[in-house]
Amino acid sequence: MSRKRWFQVRHDVSGASRRWLTLLAFALPLAVWSAVSYVPWIWHPVVKIEQPGEVSWMRAGQLVPKEDFAREVAAAKEAGLTLPSGKRANPIFLPAPHEVGRALYTAFTTKPVLRGDRWLHESLWTSIRTIFWGFVISSAVGVPLGILCGAFASVSRSTEPFVDFVRYMPAPAFGALMVAVFGIHLEPKVAIIVIGTFFQQVLVVANTVRKVDGGLLEAAQTLGAKRRQLVWRVLVPASLPELYNDLRILLGWAWTYLIVAEVVGVSSGITFFINQQAKYRNFDNVYAAILIIGLIGLVTDQVLAFLGARLFAWKNPRPSRFRTFFQRLFAGRDVLLFPDEPAKKEISA
């Protein structure tokens, strides 16, 4: 395991190492979290009272800073009172991994108590729909406008300064206005997401289109391309892979506006769950909900990355992992078990 093998500049690591490293990326934070939660002498700055003894203000289940607890125990010992007892614990805002896991399970399996209430997965679906529509509407206007800005200096100069100006306006400030214009249900939330995403999108798309190799444009013009063809047949296809990646990143950006957007109008979606649980200090539920959102984002991004690799295969030619797997599966035992060795050719009689 030499340093040379792991730290080669611009060189990917081998297949098995790739998988282990990806696993490590998640296992490491989880390990740190577990260590801080379960190992009693790492952090644990408070004491959870089990027996309050005869100290007047202590209650069972209360969390007391450990210096104060030590002080009270010493004072009680001197006064000859029953000593309080307790275990070292972490503050309320850092639940242990198993508590979050349990909260995750409970949140999804708890039946809604009230008539007209929704399951957690239904609230989650509402949130996903909000993001989806916000992003689709923003892209429907933002991407064409961005392409035009990237292609034509006149469009760029008349649009971009204003877009850049509005970009800095905080989307939450538009909340009351959106409710007044669009109502209280899904529409103002979608509008907030659009406001948050659209102005960034135009600038990012314009920039990507501007980065297209000038040589391609010149070659097309040499071949007699007209203006419309230059945009539609050269700029757009050439910038499509980068545009796809930009949109992937902007989708992540849109997700960060979810909490802000869902507070506007009638409380709905996963944000209502997060806000109520945070208000009542049930932080294990808050962590669980945040983890769900992170997981959805990660899975969406990976699926889009996979699709992107297929759509733009000409950018990164590489044998399809599916095809390679099936080839090996049917190529015979030797190839399946020892994929990196050259296959022994069968000598036909």
Partner 1 sequence: MKFARWFLCSLVIVSLAVRANLSAAPLKVAFSDWPGWTAWEIAAQKGWFKKAGVDVELLWFEYGPSMEAFTAGQVDAVMVTNGDALVTGAGGGKNVMITITDYSNGNDMIVARPGIKSVKDLKGKKIGIEVGFVSHLMLLNALEKNGLTESDVEIVPTPTSQTPQVLASGQVDAIAAWQPNSGEALKALPGATAIYSSANEPGLIYDTVAVTPQSLAQRRADWVKFVKVWDQVVAYLTDSATREDGIKIMAARAGVDPKEYAAFISGTRFLTLAEGSRIMSSKSKGFGSVTGSSVISDDFNVKNGVYGEAQDIGSYIDPTIMADALKN
**Interface with partner 1 (CB under 8 A), residue from 263, 290, 309, 335:** 263
Is the distance from CB of 297 to CB of 131 less than 8 angstroms?
no
DSSP 3-state of 174: helix
Stretch that binds partner 1, among 23-31, 98-106, 261-269, 306-314 (CB under 8 A): 261-269
**Out of 60, 75, 141, 153, the residue judged to bind partner 1 by CB under 8 A:** 141
Residues pairing with 85 in the sheet: 51
Residue 288 binds partner 1 (CB under 8 A): no
Helices (H), 88-185: 97-109, 120-151, 153-167, 175-182
The one among 68, 122, 213, 218 contacting partner 1 by CB under 8 A: 68
Residue 85 found at the interface with partner 1 (CB under 8 A): no
Count of residues touching partner 1 (by CB under 8 A): 39
Q: Which of 174, 255, 257, 273 binds partner 1 (CB under 8 A)?
A: 273
Interaction between residue 259 and partner 1 (CB under 8 A): no
| Residue 301 binds partner 1, judged by CB under 8 A | no
| CA 310 – CA 332 distance, rounded (Å) | 27
**Out of 95, 146, 175, 308, the residue judged to bind partner 1 by CB under 8 A:** 175
CA dihedral 293, 273, 134, 197 (to 10 degrees): -70
**Separation between Cα atoms, residue 266 and residue 288, nearest integer Å:** 23
119 and 182 in contact (C-beta within 8 Å)?
A: no
Nearer to partner 1, 5 or 71 (CB): 71
Angle at Cα 219 formed by Cα 215 and Cα 220, nearest 5°?
A: 120
Q: Which of 106, 267, 320, 324 contacts partner 1 by CB under 8 A?
A: 267
Footprint of partner 1 (CB under 8 A) = 57-58, 62-65, 68, 112-117, 137, 140-141, 175-176, 179-184, 187, 263-267, 272-273, 275-277, 279-282
